[in-house]
Amino acid sequence: MPNAHTARNPMTFPGVLASLLLVVVLLYLGRVFFITLISAILLAFILDPIVNRLMRFRIPRSAASFLACTFMLGVIYLLGLGLWTQVVGLWDDLPTYSRQVTKIVDSATQQVENFEKTTQDLLVPKRLREAQPQIADPIPAGKRPKRAVAAPPPPPAVQEVRIKPEEGQLVNAIYEHLSGFYDAALMASFVPFLVYFLLSWRDHFRRSFLLLVGTESSKENLQRAWDGVANVARAYLVGNFLLGIVLSIASAAFFWFVKLPYWQVVGPMSGFLSLVPYLGLPLAVIPPFVAALPVFPGLPAYVLVGATTALFHLIALNLLYPKLVGARVHLNPLVVTIALMLWYLLWGGAGLVLAIPITAGLKAAFDNIPSMRAYGRVLGD
């Protein structure tokens, strides 16, 4: 008969460790599915206030959800259309970019060669470079016997060897490279439908989750956890979106002032890339540097663009981010760093973007469940 201690602690340490390893394996193997599902849930949290406002005009929830999803798709279409227009113009200017890149590479190569020559001149004295070893010839030139120079033998015939690729190897390589993009595009096509069903069936899902627990106190805790996760996710995403808009407007205005080509696209790209955790600053300077290739040949212009982009990035993270985002997330820096490392290893770049909202959602759920508040304090600041 098990004792009282075993009954109170049914999960041992090996069991907990095995469960965590199983969860990690499932998250890694099903990363495309989970990334799609979590992205749809986050979008549903953003669009839910729009649905609630439309329902105040006595619009049914299903119709309001359809209108909200249509609005989201319309915004994405307009953004994609503007991006495609700029890409077409960039394609026309591609020869100019190619020539400028060639000039930069040639200039960099020349500078490297000059640096090597200067270094050699400094390390090796001039008298040593000019001194040549003189070896005396023991036989005078007039008494040296003449030797018949034999003709060199003809080079052996080299048979051309052609390596034929293995049959089907090229097709397999192309399939392996394109299968990942195909899977991502296929799963992304489900996002609008998932968002619509999450919005239109929200009340049904909530009632079903509440029925999983028996007591009224547990239902109240689950309801608070649901609302806490929704509020934190919505605050994080909306705060980052507003911060990205502010950075985009400031960057686009500066790029227009310095006559940077394609500032309409480069500004928003730089602004939103600046929000990527830990990699925001190097990613934010790439679009303006690429756009500046055909018009800014000198180094001072690149220094000005890079310094201004870095200034916008620092102002946004140190002054605006704590007010718009940090006040609702409450994650300590160590937990944020570990979460970014873990989710990046599991899901790559998508994990780097989703790490903070996932961790903040877990903390919000822990904070609203009395038995798990200790875990929320561990994650908090």
pLDDT in tens, 54-66: 888 888 988 999 9
pLDDT in tens, 182-199: 777 778 888 889 989 988
Query: For the chain, how big is the Rg over CA atoms in Å?
Result: 32
Sign for the pseudo-dihedral over CA of 362, 205, 27, 174:
negative
Residue 108 lies in a domain: yes
Average pLDDT, integer, range 208-229: 77
Residue 157 confidence class, pLDDT cut points 50, 70, 90: low
Q: What is the pTM of this model?
A: 0.70
Residue 329 CA to residue 229 CA, distance in Å, equals 10
Highest mean pLDDT among 81-85, 201-205, 343-347: 343-347
User: What is the per-residue pLDDT for 139?
Assistant: 53
Residue 90 confidence class, pLDDT cut points 50, 70, 90: low
Average pLDDT, integer, range 251-262: 88
Lowest mean pLDDT among 26-40, 209-223, 266-280: 209-223
Residue 345 CA to residue 124 CA, distance in Å, equals 49
Residue 303 lies in a domain: no
- Structure-model confidence comparison of residues 160 and 370, the more confident one: 370
Residue 253 confidence class, pLDDT cut points 50, 70, 90: very high
Residue 322 lies in a domain: no
Residue 43 lies in a domain: yes
The average confidence (pLDDT) of the chain is: 78
Lowest mean pLDDT among 53-62, 95-104, 183-192, 210-219: 95-104
User: What is the per-residue pLDDT for 215?
Assistant: 72
What per-residue string of b and e applies to 165-180 under the rule 16 or more CB within 10 Å gives b?
eeeeeeeeeeeeeeee
User: What is the per-residue pLDDT for 66?
Assistant: 92
Residue 72 lies in a domain: yes
DSSP 92: H
- pLDDT > 70: what percent of the chain? 74
Residue 274 lies in a domain: no
Average pLDDT, integer, range 173-188: 69
User: What is the per-residue pLDDT for 296?
Assistant: 72
Quick check: 266 and 291 in contact, CB under 8 A?
Answer: yes
User: What is the per-residue pLDDT for 125?
Assistant: 61
Residue 210 lies in a domain: no
> Which residues 6+ apart lie within 8 Å of 47 measured at CB?
65, 68, 69, 71, 72, 195, 199
Among 374, 346, 353, 263, smallest CA distance to 309 is for: 263
Residue 248 lies in a domain: no
Q: Amino acid letter at 311?
A: L
pLDDT in tens, 7-48: 445 557 677 788 888 888 898 888 888 999 998 988 888 888
| Alpha helical stretches, state H, 124-212 | 126-130, 169-188, 191-200, 202-211
Residue 148 predicted with pLDDT over 60: no
User: What is the per-residue pLDDT for 218?
Assistant: 77
Residue 5 confidence class, pLDDT cut points 50, 70, 90: very low
User: What is the per-residue pLDDT for 171?
Assistant: 61
- Structure-model confidence comparison of residues 283 and 324, the more confident one: 283
Residue 256 predicted with pLDDT over 50: yes
Residue 4 predicted with pLDDT over 50: no
Count up the domains in the chain and report the number: 1
pLDDT in tens, 332-380: 888 888 888 898 888 888 888 888 888 888 888 888 888 888 888 888 8
User: What is the per-residue pLDDT for 357?
Assistant: 87
Residue 150 predicted with pLDDT over 50: yes
Range of the domain at 46: 30-118+193-204
